[in-house]
Every structure is written in C-alpha cells, then in structure tokens.
Amino acid sequence: MSLLSVDELTVTFGGVGRKESRAVDGVSFEVDQGQVVGLVGESGCGKSVTSLALMGLLPHKGVKVGGRAEFDGTDLFTMSPSARRDLRGSQMAMIFQDPLSSLNPVVPVGVQVTEILERHRGMKGEAARKEAAHLLDRVGIPDPTRRLKEFPHQLSGGMRQRALIAMAVACAPSLLIADEPTTALDVTIQAQILELLKELVDQEGTALLMITHDLGVVAGLCDQVNVLYAGKVVESAGRRELFAHPTHPYAHGLLGSIPRLDSPRGEALKPIRGSINDRIAWADGCAFAPRCDRYEMGCLTGTPPLTEPRAAGHEVRCVHPVLDDAKAEEVPA
Amino acid sequence: MSLLELDGVKVHFPIKKGVLFDRTVGHVYAVDGISLKVEAGQTYGLVGESGCGKTTLGRSVLRLVDITEGSVVLDGTDLAKLPGEEMRRFRRRLQMVFQDPLGSLNPRQNIESILSEGMVAHGIGKDQEERREKIKSILDKVGLPSNALARYPHEFSGGQRQRIGIARALVLEPDVIICDEPVSALDVSVQAQVINLLEELQEELGLTYLVIAHDLAVVRHISDVIGVMYLGSLVEEAPSDALYAEPKHPYTKALMSAVPVPDPEVEDQRERILLVGDLPSPANPPSGCRFHTRCPWAQAERCSTERPELRDVGGGHRVACHFAEEIAAGTLKLTAGEVVSATREGVEDAPPTLPEQAERAEAAVAEAEEAEEAEKAVKAEKADTVEAADAPEKADTAEEKAAEPLEAGKAAEPEPRKAVTTEKDATTEKDAKDAKDAKDAEAEKAAEAGKAEKADEAV
Ligand SMILES: Nc1ncnc2c1ncn2[C@@H]1O[C@H](COP(=O)(O)OP(=O)(O)O)[C@@H](O)[C@H]1O
Ligand SMILES: Nc1ncnc2c1ncn2[C@@H]1O[C@H](COP(=O)(O)OP(=O)(O)O)[C@@H](O)[C@H]1O
Ligand code: SF4
Ligand code: SF4
Ligand SMILES: [Mg+2]
Ligand SMILES: [Mg+2]
C-alpha cells in the first residue's frame, strides 16, 4: 500500500462574488514509503496548492477541495481537524521556498525547535535543548549551540532552510513535502540542501514529495516524476523513462527548451511558443493545445485521458503523443 | 582595442551609522577591482551567486552608481571621468535590460510612450511620426505586433514584457546592451524564447552584450566569453567552451558541479563538490584569497594571506588561484568540502525498456477510447459530488466545528470518493492571535508561509 495516495484531487478558488478558478484539476499520484516523487511544472500549474491541500493548510474560506487523499490508509479530508494537526506535527511535515516566512521572526531558532520537541515528542527542558542542538548539527548547521540562540534573520538563507528542515524532521515524519526548497538559494547552497535531503531519504527512510520547477533537480533525485500543466498531471513516469522518452508534447518541448550546462555553445534552443496564459479549459480539450506543435482537431474534444502509449507505468495525457523522436521535430500539417 | 574595457573597477558603498547618517563605519566592497574586455559583436557573460556584485558592476558601467576607482572605457572614452552632461549623452550608447520586466516599465505609460521617451531625450527622430515608424520596425524585430503600441505593460505576459524591455534598449541603437538577469524572472518554457531572440538580434544587428546572470547554463549558452565572479572580483575568465571543458578555479569547479543537468544519464556520471559554509559578507571580505574560507583546496598560510592575481594560464584562460596548475594536475589534495555523487543513492534507476512502438501505438488507441469512456463516467460522477459538497460549505459558516463534510458526501453518494474539507485552520489574523498559545502555532506559521509565498508570486 502507498504511504500517500492522492486520487482526483481538485482545488477550486472563488465563491461569493468571485469567479471560480480551478487551481488543481484532478491530480492523482502516489508516494511509497521511502520513495522520492517529483511534482514538476511551471509557476501557477498548481504545485503549491496541491501540497497545501494535502497538508490541510489552505485558507478555509472560498476554497473547495475535492477528491481523495489517503495517508497511511487514513482519509485526510475526512479526518477531524485535531487529528489532522497531530498528523501534521508528527507524520507529515512540509518545508517551503522561503524559510524566513515559515519561521517566527521574534523567537530564537532554538526555542522554535525545542517547542516542537516538547509538543510532539514530550521532551522537557535540557533534554529538548540537547536534542535541538543535535538536530541542528545533524542538518549541518555549524556551532549549533550558539545558533540556537540566534533569531531567524541572523541566519543566511541556506542556514534558515536547514533550520526549517531540522524542525520538519524533528519528529521523524514518514513523509516530507518540500515545496521549491532550493529555489531561493544559490546553486552551491542548493547542492548542500539537496545532499541533506538525499541523506534523510537514504538514512531515515523518509518519503519525499519534491515540488520544483527545475527538471535538473528532479533528474538526480526522484524515483517517480509527475509533470503538471494547468492543474493536471500530463505525464508520469520513472525518472529514466521520463527523461529518455518525454512523450507529452509539453514535457518533450520543455526538455528541448532548457539550456543545458553540458550542451555545446551555439546549439539552438527550441522554445515552446506562447505562455501559460494561452490555455483553454481542460473541460473543452487539451489545455496545452494553443502552444502545441502537434495539435489536431481531435485535441479539442474533451480532456485527453491518461494513457500508456509507450510503456507500462508511463502515463501520458495526450491524444497525439511524441512516440518517436524524429517525428517530434516536424510539425504535423 | 575592445569596444568596452574595464580596468581595476571598484565600487565601495559606505556603511553609514549614527543619527545623522554621517559617520562612515566601513564599506561594502561590492565590486573590488575588476578588469575585463568586451569585444564588439560578442557576448560577455558574467556569472556568480547573489551578492557577488554583478548588478553593481553593470550599474557602474552606466554610472548609475559611483565608481570608487578604475576606468570604464567605451570606444576610447573613459566614462568614469566624464562630466555629468556628457555622460548623459553617452548613456544612449549603453542600454540596460532588467530582470523584472514589469518593475522596470511604467504601468501608466503605453508602449509607444515608453519606447519614445528615450528617443525624445536623445533627440532621435524628427517628430513622433518618424519615431513611431522606427518603434514599429523594432517591435516587429522583437516579435511583438504593431498594435502593441497603444497597449499597457500589464496587458502583456512576462516574456512579452521582456521583449518590450529589449525593444526599449534597441530603439536607441546602443553600442552595448547590458542584460541583468534577462530571463531569470521568466517561466522555463518562456526563457528559451527570450534567449533565442537575444541571439537572433545579435546576429542581425551586430549587437554587443554584457549578460549578467546567476544561471551558469544560461550564461554558457549565450556567451562567447565568461567571467566568474566571487565576492566582488573575477576568479576566472575563459571562452565559454573552454571554461566548461576545463574549469580551473576551485570556485568555478564547485559552481559548475552544483548545476543540475536535466538528464539522469548525465547526472548518474557526475560528482558534486560540496562547499563548506556560506558566502562571506562583502562588508568584511576574507583576507588573502577571498575564497579561502570555502575552498576545498585551500592551503595553509599562502591562501589566507596573499591575494591571488588574475593571471593568464594560456589560451585566453585567466585564473585567480595560486594553485591552479597543481589542482589541474591533481597533485593537490582536498583540504575541505566533500565530493558526492549527483544522484541519490538507491534512486530507482532501472533502465527504460524500449517497447515495440507500433504495437504500443495500436494499444494506445484502444486504450484511449476506453479511457475516454471512463473519463466521461468520472465526470458525471464529479458533477454529482460538487453539488453534494456545496452543502457542508454553507453549513460550516453557521457552525465552527463543521458538521463533518463526509456526512453530506455520504448522504449523496454511497461511496465517499470525493469530499470537501471544512476543517477550520487558523489562517485569519484573528485566529492567529488565538493560536499563539494553542497547539497549532506551528501549523499557523506554515500556513503563513504558504500565504507569503502566494503574495510573492502575485507581485
Ligand atoms: N489563495 C488563492 N486564491 C486564488 N487563487 C489562488 C490562490 N492560491 C493560488 N491560486 C491560484 O492557483 C493556481 C496554482 O497556484 P500554485 O499552486 O501556487 O502554483 P505553483 O505551481 O506555482 O506552486 C494559480 O493560478 C494561482 O494563481
Ligand atoms: N546601493 C547600495 N548600497 C549599499 N550596498 C549595496 C548597494 N547595492 C548593492 N549593495 C551590496 O553590494 C553587494 C553586491 O550586490 P549586487 O551587485 O546586487 O550583487 P548581485 O547582482 O551579484 O546579486 C551586496 O552585498 C549588496 O548588498
Ligand atoms: S492532446 Fe493535442 S494539443 Fe494536447 S498535447 Fe497532445 S497533441 Fe498537443
Ligand atoms: S588561492 Fe588557495 S584558497 Fe584561493 S582558490 Fe586557490 S587554492 Fe583555493
Ligand atoms: Mg509554488
Ligand atoms: Mg543582481
């Protein structure tokens, strides 16, 4: 059984006096124990909203969450609020892009870590402080005893993210959701944080839901990758399969448009035309159609279903998938 | 002679203290002695992590910040010494494209007015008619329709706004365009459009670029020559391909090894050099080699006492490291840091199985048809649920501890496949205060983080 199983998750914003907009439009995926699963897509495709819905952290007013999410066999959306909070403190934890906003600015880092240990692990006084120092040390914060007394603003971005990871792993959660945890960081610091996350997964067996817009980050880290476009998973596969055979025209196009460090200078990029704003409603057809080189009339007859046109377990939401790479180069008439 | 030559450029910002802000207690050594040459018709890429002084250097070329020391010579004229009035005339020849296209465009001006402004200031075009013609031809070059003229910045997408920013530079026919993080605010799928545009324009108009960016892959893609900055100085400079093939400075090596490549085959072969610690403050830079506090090869004494000069090691490759040769030869042992695999241990890496494609395609069609049926069924089901789910939403406003949403769901549907959460989470400000002493202070912070991020993205 999967640790986390998300089935047809929808999140709709709006309500009284506001136009409804569906940020997450039927997203399904699973995360197994100790597995790293990527949720990749450009800004606005619904990554953060998905994670907040799973954590139960979406604002209450004007938001409708539909579908089903099971954590360790329990339905998250029908759980009592207090049970959910307990779960959030112990079994599920989340870290964010901007660690500063998730830390209390007026409380020393050490107090924030010890509070968690006291609340969720029943530790007291000196024991909690000792464990807090141990945790900071564990996530690679030098001189942890001194750092415990510092306020969040006194730490660098990388150190703050480490502190947040320390808080997230304080209760040895079985699932960690990381929403763009390295996007605000410099690349050498990103490497440090990714290494830390890798260690957590390898040594503690924590499952990781890695949310990012960076396909490079996914390539070395994730077992399974889900590509999101406009609130729907458009492609899902194991990491090698996905990168070797991107089959949805969006995923295929994205990989062709990213400048790679290892590609020779002068090799032209193949951009995807238009922007995320050029989209149609999934109900009417493929949301990617206005930007797609492979678009045909058939693309506009309702939501394309997820199929496995290439290999078992490699799901693609496209009626005209990229099946051989030579063909993908030419635009169908 | 090169079109643009910087020699020993320093920009030191005074740190003021005291009630009257008149006491200088130190300096931020934002740019601390940079010499480089930009050749006509070429692209010089300046790369480095945030805070290393890239933007300040770009601004110093335009004299948007005061140059503390050194010279900036454009086409034979030293801009650093030019009186204000003359500098204003020279500014036409140096244009800047900014990171944030929206922030750099006045929201109340339409595109024609934004693009005319500089032309009027520099006396380009004898009347608005002539200017408009010129603007139209430039808009066409950057791939915007001519009806863009009467529209306003907010009516365009991020990528289009960046095109407007480029057009604004182009109408002045500058000698050098300084692009400061030209694509980092754009979505990945849109970045390539702007990168390609910059390259096409260079080819067509013979433009010269100084491109400043933190993304090494982007810089490598568009630059002829790359300069790597660390704490206000250049640590390495080389032709793009040479730098990639053989990075010689320890910082460049670490930086390059840290950039993830979107290809598991490549990542599985790569190793990362993990640096220790963080970037030191440019207000209090380390002695000797500025990189010695993080350098994996730092050697006792010399590295912390003697500042290495940028020196030519052959083939136009310049490096500021005492031990570049020894490191390249592999005779120097690591003294700090760590080298790790770029790939996670135990990551699922079964090689993909190549299916017989024809068979697959056929199966796909059949499957697609089946799935379509199923999808329709699901949709019908969904329609039901939404209505059912609406009920508890309303009920919830009446009662705090919501009637469990599932109840309503259940009533409508024997199998509770979809339900709406009505859990009350402390996300309003009032709730926040109440939550302070309550159990969920932590959840609160997390929720706020979510909100803050949203606000960020909205900007
Ligand atoms: N609180 C909110 N109210 C209304 N719309 C929202 C809210 N939060 C997010 N959205 C919208 O939902 C969509 C998905 O957002 P998000 O999940 O944050 O995207 P990302 O993939 O960048 O994390 C976006 O179109 C965004 O504008
Ligand atoms: N006007 C200023 N006054 C004081 N310090 C500044 C000013 N502008 C930049 N700095 C500082 O100079 C350093 C370099 O900044 P910047 O040039 O923006 O770096 P980059 O563009 O590489 O991120 C930073 O430490 C920054 O805080
Ligand atoms: S369904 Fe059609 S428009 Fe959508 S991605 Fe596939 S080919 Fe393109
Ligand atoms: S001079 Fe020393 S500290 Fe500086 S980069 Fe070279 S080896 Fe490292
Ligand atoms: Mg997000
Ligand atoms: Mg900058």
CB atoms under 10 Å from CB of B57, counted, come to: 28
pLDDT at A266: 74
- pLDDT greater than 80 at residue A237: yes
Closest Cα partner for B222 from A255, A257, A269? A269
Mean pLDDT of the region A325-329: 49
Nearest chain A residue to B427, by CA = A59
Q: What is the DSSP string of A119-183?
A: HHH---HHHHHHHHHHHHHHTT-SSHHHHTTS-GGGS-HHHHHHHHHHHHHTT--SEEEEESTTT
Q: What percent of chain B has pLDDT over 70?
A: 75
Residue with tokens 């945790």: A135
pLDDT at B266: 94
pLDDT at B443: 42
- Report whether A57 contacts A140 (CB < 8 A): no
- pLDDT greater than 80 at residue B242: yes
Q: How distant is the Cα of A313 from the closest Cα of chain B, in angstroms?
A: 11
Q: For the whole prediction, is pTM greater than 0.90?
A: no
pLDDT at B315: 86
- pLDDT greater than 70 at residue B385: no
CB atoms under 10 Å from CB of B266, counted, come to: 19
Ligand 4 pocket (Cβ < 6 Å) reads: B 249-250, 289, 291-292, 295, 297-299, 303, 308, 321-323
Give the lowest-confidence range in B152-161, B220-229, B254-263.
B152-161
pLDDT at B130: 95
CB atoms under 10 Å from CB of B146, counted, come to: 13
**Which ligand 4 atom is the nearest neighbour of the CA of B324?**
6
Q: Which residues of B touch A176 (CB under 8 A)?
A: none
Q: Which residues of A touch B406 (CB under 8 A)?
A: 75, 77-78
- pLDDT greater than 80 at residue B370: no
Q: Read off the pLDDT band of A264 (50, 70, 90).
A: confident
Distance CA A15, CA A22 (A): 11
Give the tens place of pLDDT for each residue, B133-180: 999 999 999 999 989 999 999 999 889 999 999 999 999 999 999 999
pLDDT at B349: 57
pLDDT at A328: 45
- Nearest CA, atom 6, ligand 4: B321
Q: Which residues of A touch B262 (CB under 8 A)?
A: 214-216, 218-219, 243, 255, 258, 260
Residues 6+ apart with CB under 8 A from B415: none
**Helix (H) or strand (E) segment spanning residue A306:** strand A306-307
Closest Cα partner for B275 from B258, B290, B299, B300? B258
Q: How far is the CA of B47 from the centre of ligand 2 (A)?
A: 15
pLDDT at B303: 96
Order of strands, sheet of A63-71, starting from the edge strand that comes earlier in the sequence = A18-31, A4-15, A63-71, A74-75
Give the tens place of pLDDT for each residue, B118-138: 999 999 999 999 999 999 999
β pairing state of B338-341 and B318-319: unpaired
pLDDT at B373: 53
Q: What percent of chain A has pLDDT over 70?
A: 97
CB contact under 8 A, B352 and A244: yes
Q: Read off the pLDDT band of A102 (50, 70, 90).
A: confident
Give the tens place of pLDDT for each residue, A219-234: 999 999 999 999 999 9
- pLDDT greater than 90 at residue B216: yes
**The two structure tokens encoding residue B2:** 């090169």
Three-state SS sequence of chain B: CCCEEEEEEEEEEEEEECCCCCEEEEEEEEEEEEEEEECCCCEEEEECCCCCCHHHHHHHHCCCCCCCEEEEEECCEEHHHCCHHHHHHHHHHEEEECCCCCCCCCCCCCHHHHHHHHHHHCCCCCCHHHHHHHHHHHHHHCCCCHHHHHCCHHHCCHHHHHHHHHHHHHCCCCCEEEEECCCCCCCHHHHHHHHHHHHHHHHHHCCEEEEEECCHHHHHHHCCEEEEEECCEEEEEEEHHHHHHCCCCHHHHHHHHHCCCCCHHHHCCCEEEECCCCCCCCCCCCCCCCCCCCCCCCCCCHHHHCCCCCEECCCCCEECCCCHHHHHHCCCCCCCCEEEECCCCCCCCCCCCCCCHHHHHHHHHHHHHHHHHHHHHHHHHHHHHHHHHHHHHHHHHHCCCCCCHHHHHHHHCCCCCCCCCCCCCCCCHHHHHHHCCCCCHHHHHHHHHHHHHHHHHHC
pLDDT at A100: 79
pLDDT at B213: 96
Mean pLDDT of the region B248-256: 97
Q: Does A249 touch chain B (CB under 8 A)?
A: no
Gyration radius of chain A's alpha carbons: 21
Question: Would you tell me the crossing angle of helices B111-121 and B158-170 to the nearest 10 degrees?
Answer: 20
Q: What percent of chain B has pLDDT over 90?
A: 63
- pLDDT greater than 50 at residue B434: no
Residue with tokens 């030519």: B312
Q: How far is the CA of B329 from the centre of ligand 4 (A)?
A: 15
β pairing state of B208-213 and B43-47: parallel
In a mutational test of the B interface, the residue from A78, A212, A293 whose CB has the highest number of chain B CBs within 10 Å is A78
pLDDT at B436: 39
Give the lowest-confidence range in A99-108, B153-162, B242-251, B434-443.
B434-443
β pairing state of B23-38 and A207-212: unpaired
Q: Which residues of A touch B278 (CB under 8 A)?
A: 156, 158-159, 189
Mean pLDDT of the region A43-58: 94
Q: Read off the pLDDT band of B372 (50, 70, 90).
A: low
B1-6+33-223, what's its fold? Answer: Rossmann fold (3.40.50)
Distance CA A113, CA A263 (A): 44
Longest dimension (CA), chain B: 83
Mean pLDDT of the region B72-89: 92
CB contact under 8 A, A264 and B241: yes
Distance CA B40, CA B131 (A): 27
Residue with tokens 């026919």: B173
Residues 6+ apart with CB under 8 A from A292: A249, A250, A286, A299
- pLDDT greater than 50 at residue B267: yes
Give the tens place of pLDDT for each residue, B300-352: 999 999 999 999 998 899 999 999 999 999 999 889 888 999 998 888 755 44
pLDDT at B345: 83
Mean pLDDT of the region B271-291: 93
As for the ipTM of the complex, it is: 0.91
**The two structure tokens encoding residue A177:** 């959701």
Q: Read off the pLDDT band of A265 (50, 70, 90).
A: confident
Q: Which residues of B touch A158 (CB under 8 A)?
A: 278
Give the tens place of pLDDT for each residue, A276-301: 889 999 999 999 999 999 999 999 99
Question: Would you tell me the crossing angle of helices A109-121 and B441-458 to the nearest 10 degrees?
Answer: 130
Give the tens place of pLDDT for each residue, A7-43: 999 999 987 777 889 999 999 999 999 999 999 999 8
The amino acid that residue A234 corresponds to is V
- Report whether B317 contacts B249 (CB < 8 A): no
- Report whether A54 contacts A75 (CB < 8 A): no
- pLDDT greater than 70 at residue B6: yes
Q: How distant is the Cα of A69 from the closest Cα of chain B, in angstroms?
A: 9
Q: A residues 26-85 near B, CB within 8 Å? A: 35-36, 42-44, 48, 52-53, 55-60, 64-68, 75, 77-81, 84-85
- pLDDT greater than 70 at residue B458: no
Distance CA A262, CA A259 (A): 9
Distance CA A71, CA A75 (A): 6
Q: Where do the domains of chain B lie?
A: 1-6+33-223
Gyration radius of chain B's alpha carbons: 29
Mean pLDDT of the region B236-261: 96
